[in-house]
Every structure is written in C-alpha cells, then in structure tokens.
C-alpha cells in the first residue's frame, strides 16, 4: 500500500468496465463525482480508452473534463479534451493484418476507424460497439489506406473462442487485444498501448514515475496497469488483468473505482 500522504498527480482511467457499466451503458453519479474530485484537486486526469474519438468526447463532457488530453483507440489517437480535436494519430496498414485474420476468424465482420468522422464497416455493428456514423464498405476499400484502429467482430462466438483462434497467430505491424465482453479483436499500430502513450505523456507533463495511478478492467489495460506506480483492477476483471495491478477493487456494477479514488480524493 502507498504512503498515506501520497497523492497521485497523473490519474489514468479506462472507460468501459471501469467508469461505465457495459450492461447499463451509463456512468453513475458517484463515479462521475469521484472523477471530478480528482480533477478539482489538481491531478492530471486522463481518460485512456479503446473507444474512438467520437465515443470519448461525450464521456469527457459528462465527467466535466475540459482540459488536458485523452487517449483514444488504445493510445493510437491523442485527443484535445478542450476542443475534441485530434492532436496526434498513429496508423498502420490493415491489409496484411486482415489477410492473416480472415482465415482464423471465418465470417467475422470488420471495422476501421476514420478519425473524427466514424467507421467503415463490412456489416453493421451495434450502436454501443462503434460510436458515430457507420458506412458500409467493401473489404478492398476497408483496407486500402492506413488506419489507427481495426476491429474484427466474430459475431455469435464467445470471447474465449477468439482467444483460442488467435493463440499462435502472429499479426504483422500491429498490436492486438482481445475483448473479454465481446468476441472481437482490436488492432492498433505496433508498439501502441495505453501504457506506452501514458509514459510519453508523463514525461511531457513532468510527472515522476512514482506519482502515477491507473484503473482498468480489460486486457487492453494490462500495460497501463503495469506502467502505473499504483494501479487498480476492477473486481470483474479477468485473472490476467488482476495480476497486473497493485490491488483489486469492487466491480463496475458496485462503482468500485469510487473507493479506489476516494482514498486520495475524498
């Protein structure tokens, strides 16, 4: 446990499964208020999410975070929290990645992010899965240009089936994570993780490594939890995620992140 006098200066928070209940698709008032207290106390509160820009901006507005930056698409897109504009975007070539995924996930649907405007999709995704407009596209169009994020959705399969199908797969030029709620794979450029993006931000802000905190629940949060000096996994997180954190709090359905933040921001 950290020193009682310690207070984090950089607070990194996942959204879905941490601040927001994926089933209810809402952020509870206690969670909202806990985040606002941390920001009011002077901490750099950074939303770090797998969501696109269009899915992140409404979260920032609901939380009242109007300054600093947010990390979207698992760190591939750096967002200005005040304006909602992209400050930096990292991309990769989706064509060879799709060519490798297609035989492993037969029948999967695909989506690529178009920063700030929506997504190209091979078939419609549910509204809560992709935020903003979806435009149907051929596979050729989908993989014709570099993108910050590609999603493969293996509908009607369990997440564990996706894990099994990709267990020995090597995908070129990218970083992949597999969701534990949905049967899908999120692909971003090689070397891009929430943890890597946060480390770059930490140095730019002049925050010491000892003054960092993170909370998350998914496999895309593992690097972020390992990066933080003190990290908290949500109670419903899988074992791999729990093992990466300093401690485990209550599940998102019980507003577990509130207790984690209240220790330093009562």
> Three-class SS of residue 264?
coil
Q: Are residues 130 and 199 in the same domain?
A: no
Q: Are residues 124 and 255 in the same domain?
A: no
Q: How much is the CA Rg of the chain, to the nearest whole Å?
A: 18
Give dist(CA 120, CA 100) in Å, integer: 19
Confidence check: pLDDT of 233 > 90: yes
Q: In what order do the strands lie in the sheet with 247-248?
A: 44-47, 10-13, 212-216, 230-233, 247-248
Q: Are residues 59 and 105 in the same domain?
A: no
Q: Are residues 132 and 247 in the same domain?
A: no
E strands within 126-179?
A: 134-136, 150-153, 174-178
Identify whether 150 is part of a domain.
Answer: yes
pLDDT in tens, 186-204: 999 999 999 999 999 999 9
Give dist(CA 184, CA 12) in Å, integer: 24
- Confidence band of 4 (pLDDT split at 50, 70, 90): low
Torsions phi, psi for 141 (to 5 deg):
-70, -40
Q: Are residues 84 and 200 in the same domain?
A: yes
Identify whether 1 is part of a domain.
Answer: no
Q: Are residues 151 and 81 in the same domain?
A: no
Q: Are residues 80 and 146 in the same domain?
A: no
Give dist(CA 257, CA 34) in Å, integer: 8
* Residue range(s) defining the domain that contains residue 48: 10-89+192-262
Q: Are residues 146 and 169 in the same domain?
A: yes
Least confident of 2-6, 7-11, 99-103, 130-134: 2-6
- Domain termination site, one of 165, 189, 213: 189
**Residue tagged 């020995």 (tokens):** 168
Confidence check: pLDDT of 1 > 60: no
> Going by C-beta distance under 8 Å and a sequence separation of 6 or more, which residues neighbour residue 248?
232, 233, 234, 235, 237, 242
Identify whether 4 is part of a domain.
Answer: no
Residue 172, Cβ neighbours under 10 Å: how many?
12
Torsions phi, psi for 187 (to 5 deg):
-120, 130
Q: Are residues 63 and 105 in the same domain?
A: no
pLDDT, mean over the chain? 95
Predicted local confidence at residue 91, as pLDDT = 97
Query: How many separate domains does the chain show?
Result: 2
Q: What is the DSSP letter of 56?
A: H
Identify whether 3 is part of a domain.
Answer: no
CA 221 to chain centre: 7
Torsions phi, psi for 42 (to 5 deg):
100, 0
Strands 109-114 and 150-153: antiparallel
Q: Provide the token pair at 27.
A: 């952020």
Identify whether 2 is part of a domain.
Answer: no
Confidence check: pLDDT of 3 > 80: no
Mean pLDDT of 21-50: 95
Predicted local confidence at residue 52, as pLDDT = 95
Q: Are residues 169 and 235 in the same domain?
A: no
Mean pLDDT of 76-84: 96
CATH of the domain at 182: 3.30.1240.10
The answer to whether 151 and 123 are in contact (CB under 8 A) is: no
Identify whether 215 is part of a domain.
Answer: yes
- Domain termination site, one of 189, 212, 231: 189
Q: Are residues 52 and 167 in the same domain?
A: no
- Domain termination site, one of 131, 155, 189: 189
Identify whether 24 is part of a domain.
Answer: yes
Q: What percentage of the chain reaches a pLDDT higher than 90?
A: 90
CATH of the domain at 61: 3.40.50.1000
Q: Are residues 105 and 80 in the same domain?
A: no
Confidence check: pLDDT of 136 > 90: yes
Confidence check: pLDDT of 55 > 80: yes
């Amino acid at each position: 446990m950290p020193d009682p006098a310690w207070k984090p200066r950089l607070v990194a928070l996942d959204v879905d499964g941490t601040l927001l209940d994926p089933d209810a698709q809402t952020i509870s008032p206690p969670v909202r208020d806990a985040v606002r207290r941390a920001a009011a106390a002077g901490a750099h509160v950074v939303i770090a999410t797998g969501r696109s820009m269009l899915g992140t901006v409404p979260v920032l507005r609901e939380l009242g975070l109007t300054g600093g930056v947010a990390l979207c698409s698992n760190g591939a897109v750096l967002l200005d929290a005040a304006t909602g504009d992209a400050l930096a975007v990292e991309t990769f070539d989706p064509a060879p990645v799709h060519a490798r995924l297609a035989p492993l996930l037969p029948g999967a649907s695909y989506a690529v992010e178009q920063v700030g405007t929506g997504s190209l999709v091979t078939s419609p995704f549910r509204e809560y899965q992709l935020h903003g407009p979806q435009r149907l596209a051929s596979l050729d169009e989908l993989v014709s240009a570099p993108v910050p994020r590609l999603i493969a959705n293996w509908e009607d399969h369990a997440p564990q089936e996706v894990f099994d199908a990709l267990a020995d797969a090597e995908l070129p030029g990218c970083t992949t994570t597999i969701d534990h709620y949905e049967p899908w794979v999120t692909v971003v450029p090689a070397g891009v993780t929430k943890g890597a993006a946060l480390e770059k931000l930490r140095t730019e802000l002049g925050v010491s490594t000892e003054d960092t905190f993170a909370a998350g629940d998914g496999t895309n949060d593992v690097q972020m939890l390992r990066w933080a000096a003190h990290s908290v996994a949500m109670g419903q997180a899988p074992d791999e995620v729990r093992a990466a954190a300093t401690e485990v709090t209550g599940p998102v359905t019980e507003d577990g992140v509130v207790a984690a933040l209240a220790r330093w921001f009562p």
